[in-house]
Structure 1
Amino acid sequence: MNRLPRLLAAMLIGVTALATGPATASAQPPAAAQQVVSQYIAANDGTPLFYKDWGPKDGPVVSFSHGWPLNSDSWESQMLFLAERGFRVIAHDRRGHGRSGQAWANNNMDQYADDLAAVLDALNVRDVTLVGFSTGGGEVTRYLGRHGSARVKRLVLVSAVTPIMVRNADNPNGVPLDVFDGLRKASLDNRAQLYRDIASGPFFGFNRAGAKVSPGLIESFWVQGMQASHKSTFDAIQAFSESNFVEDLKRVTVPTLVIHGDDDQIVPIQTSARATVKLVKGARLIEYAGGPHGITDTHKDRLNQDLLNFLK
Structure 2
Amino acid sequence: MSTITTKDGTRIFYKDWGAKDAQPIVFSHGWPLTADVWDPQLVFFANAGYRVIAHDRRSHGRSDQVWQNNTMDQYADDLGELIEQLDLKNVVLVGHSTGGGEVTRYVGRHGTGRVANVVLLGAVPPLMLKTEANPGGLPLEVFDDIRKNTFGNRSQFFKDIVVPFYNYNREGAVLSEGIRDNFWRQGMMGGLKGQLDSIKAFSESDFTEDLKKMDVPALIIHGDDDQIVPIGASALLSSKLAPKATLKIYEGSGHGISEQEADRFNADVLAFIKG
Equivalent residue in structure 2 for 1:281, among 219, 229, 243: 243
TM-score under structure 1 normalisation?
0.87
TM-score under structure 2 length normalisation: 0.99
Q: 2:57 aligns with which of 94, 98, 101?
A: 94
Percent identity (aligned): 54
Q: SS at 1:57's partner residue? A: coil
- Of structures 1 and 2, the one with the larger relative CO (CA 8 A, separation 6+) is 2
Query: Equivalent residue for 2:33?
Result: 70
Q: Distance in 2 between matches of 1:85 and 1:278?
A: 31
Q: Could you tell me how far 1:281 is from its partner in structure 2?
A: 1.3
Q: Give the deviation of 1:262 after TM superposition.
A: 0.5
* Count of residues paired in the alignment: 274
- Asked whether 1:252 is paired with 2:214, we answer yes
Gap regions ≥5 residues in structure 1: 1-37
User: Which 4+ residue blocks in structure 1 deviate beyond 2 angstroms?
Assistant: none
**Corresponding residue number in structure 2 for 1:41:** 4
Cα distance per residue 1:80-133 (max 9 Å; x no partner): 100001000011100000000001100000000000011001100100000000
The answer to whether the 8 A contact 1:64-1:130 is kept is yes
The answer as to whether partners of 2:216 and 2:244 remain within 8 angstroms in 1 is: no
The counterpart of 1:243, out of the listed 183, 190, 205, is: 205
**Which residue of structure 1 lines up, in the alignment, with residue 261 of structure 2?**
299
Q: Are 2:141 and 1:209 aligned?
A: no
Quick one: distance in 2 between partners of 1:207 and 1:43? 41
The Cα offsets for residues 161-194 of structure 1, whole Å up to 9 and x where unpaired, read as 0000000011011001000001111111101111
**Rg comparison, structure with higher value:** 1
Aligned partners of 1:221 and 1:96: how far apart in 2? 16
Q: CA RMSD in A?
A: 0.7
2:148 to 168, 181, 185: 185
1:207: how far off? 1.0
Corresponding residue to 2:194 among 221, 227, 232: 232
Match of 2:83 in 1: 120
Work out the CA distance in 2 between the residues paired with 1:75 and 1:44: 26
Cα shift at 1:306: 0.5
